[in-house]
């Protein structure tokens, strides 16, 4: 009898080892997590349980952060329109829009109020289960039958919708089995450890085995065994590497991968920098997808706002980084500017989210002698050619020429010789080409000599 029990334990041991070997390849659990999920299972209580999971909350917050740090940018000449639309997209409104990927479908009611002659919109999230899409047209179905909705009363958006999935692909369907298995495994492993985590008492006797078994049972409540003295039972305990913590950690990583596109993004424990960069790029792509949903609702609300207010003003809107310009784009624009192309005021404001005022620069101050030859190349090199061509005719050189004339005459008058004069001119204007000046001075000296000779002859006509 006990030999059969021994064989049974041996078979269980072999089976356990085989199962533990398979658990090293956690991918075998993926088919379980990909089981179908019926919409009827996703009631409010189940959805709340999924969204309350600690790992889910942390991953969603991590994914939302990159989009929530941005601000709404409305481009419109009418300041009142601009402020009204910016107020409509508050932090809470954008935060609720970013929940659409998890539900797959989101609906927002538009309430209108009048202020200073402007009809101002306000967004309010509504239960998406009370709405349906009838050939792409949003209808209210909260009372059991479809009702048309005015164009200015609601806005809807979907996440990854397809012809066979018009209501999008909600992430809560993928998270359903992950959270269910996580909670079920915790309960299962707690009960398992309570049952098998306590020590067993093994009694050996040559006497009445049933009597000893009864005594052990009464003492320990069944956690015991009685064997012949020549028999032996070896109990294999589960090692630390196979406990429930590994399974829970694996499921948590799967949850992060579903929401963030890769667990390295939020749970880096090792690996190469290249792998981390790839996961960060994936996360940026997901953030861009979320931003596109927000921008879609922004565009639809702007269109509705224009219709309701009957305005022809051009209005554009989107999310932009808050005082964080794109440095690679700025470097590119600088290179283009240095090539001689000037960006427009509208482009600068739209790209870098800053206000630009064009100021006409006038510089009437005189430049010191020692800095003229050094400052001019710097100024000329930094100005694009088209700027020089456009402004060259607007520069008044009269004061500057008069200053140069006075400075040169002062140098000439203070010099005691021709060589000293040239040296002083070179010091004042190191890069100035004096060849023409030398020719002129030589001509002036020759003329002065002739004038002197003529004057002497006039004074002494007889020689």
Q: What is the pLDDT of residues 317-365, one digit of tens each?
A: 999 887 666 667 777 878 887 877 788 877 777 777 677 777 665 554 4
The mean-pLDDT minimum among 31-35, 297-301, 427-431 falls in 31-35
Domain boundaries, the chain: 35-197+237-322
Alpha carbons 264 and 256: distance in angstroms, whole number: 9
- Identify the H or E element spanning 245: helix 244-260
What whole-number distance in Å separates Cα of residue 182 and Cα of residue 177?
A: 8
What is the reported pLDDT for 442? 73
H-type alpha helices, 310-359: 327-338, 345-352
pLDDT tens digit sequence for 180-218: 888 876 666 666 555 556 666 777 777 787 887 777 777
| Most confident by average pLDDT, 39-53, 235-249, 257-271, 398-412 | 39-53
Tell me the per-residue pLDDT of 12-61, one tens digit each, with 9 for 90 and over. 444 444 344 434 445 556 666 667 777 777 888 999 999 999 999 999 99
Mean pLDDT of the chain: 75
| pLDDT of residue 456 exceeding 80 | no
pTM greater than 0.85 (yes/no): no
Cα separation, 324 vs 328, in Å, equals 12
Determine the distance from the C-alpha atom of residue 385 to the mean position of all C-alpha atoms in its chain, rounded to a whole number: 38
Higher pLDDT, 435 or 159: 159
In this predicted structure, the answer to whether residue 103 has a pLDDT above a threshold of 90 is: yes
pLDDT at 72 over 70: yes
Phi and psi at residue 123, to the nearest 5°: -95, 140
User: Rg of the chain's alpha carbons, rounded to an integer?
Assistant: 43
What are the φ and ψ backbone dihedral angles of 115, each rounded to 5 degrees? Answer: -145, 115
């Amino acid at each position: 009898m006990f030999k059969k029990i021994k064989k049974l334990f041996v078979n269980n041991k072999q089976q356990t080892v085989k199962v533990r070997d398979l658990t090293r390849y956690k991918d075998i659990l993926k088919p379980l997590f990909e089981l179908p999920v019926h919409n009827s299972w996703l009631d409010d209580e189940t959805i709340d349980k999924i969204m309350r999971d600690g790992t889910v909350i942390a991953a969603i917050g991590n994914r939302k952060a990159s989009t929530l740090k941005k601000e709404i940018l409305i481009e419109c000449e009418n300041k009142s329109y601009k402020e009204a639309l910016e107020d409509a997209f508050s932090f809470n409104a954008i935060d609720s829009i970013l929940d659409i990927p998890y539900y797959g479908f989101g609906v927002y009611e538009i309430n209108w109020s009048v202020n200073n002659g402007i009809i101002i919109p306000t967004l309010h999230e509504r239960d998406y289960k009370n709405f349906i899409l009838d050939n792409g047209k949003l209808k209210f179905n909260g009372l059991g039958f479809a009702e048309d909705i005015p164009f200015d009363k609601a806005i809807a958006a979907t996440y990854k919708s397809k012809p066979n999935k018009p209501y999008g692909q909600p992430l809560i369907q993928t998270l359903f089995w992950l959270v269910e298995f996580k909670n079920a495994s915790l309960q299962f492993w707690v009960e398992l450890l309570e049952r098998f985590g306590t020590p067993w008492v093994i009694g050996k006797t040559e006497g009445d085995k049933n009597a000893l078994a009864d005594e052990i049972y009464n003492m320990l409540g069944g956690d015991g065994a009685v064997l012949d003295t020549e028999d032996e039972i070896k109990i294999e305990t589960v090692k630390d590497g196979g406990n429930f913590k590994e399974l829970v950690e694996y499921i948590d990583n799967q949850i992060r991968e579903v929401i963030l596109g890769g667990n390295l993004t939020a749970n880096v424990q090792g690996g190469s920098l290249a792998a981390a960069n790839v996961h960060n790029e994936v996360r940026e792509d997901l953030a861009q997808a979320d931003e596109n949903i927000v921008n879609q609702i922004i565009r639809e609300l702007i269109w509705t706002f224009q219709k309701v207010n009957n305005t022809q003003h051009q209005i554009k809107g989107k999310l932009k980084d808050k005082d964080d310009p794109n440095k690679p784009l700025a470097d590119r624009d600088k290179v283009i500017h240095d090539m001689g192309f000037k960006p427009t005021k509208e482009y600068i404001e739209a790209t870098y989210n800053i206000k630009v005022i064009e100021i006409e620069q006038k510089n009437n101050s005189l430049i010191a002698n020692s800095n003229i030859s050094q400052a001019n190349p710097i100024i000329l090199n930094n100005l694009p050619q088209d700027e020089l061509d456009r402004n060259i005719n607007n520069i008044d050189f009269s004061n500057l020429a008069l200053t140069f004339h006075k400075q040169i005459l002062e140098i000439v008058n203070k010099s005691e010789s021709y060589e000293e004069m040239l040296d002083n001119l070179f010091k004042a204007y190191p890069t100035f080409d004096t060849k023409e000046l030398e020719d002129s001075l030589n001509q002036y000296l020759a003329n002065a000599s002739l004038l002197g000779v003529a004057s002497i002859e006039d004074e002494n006509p007889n020689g």
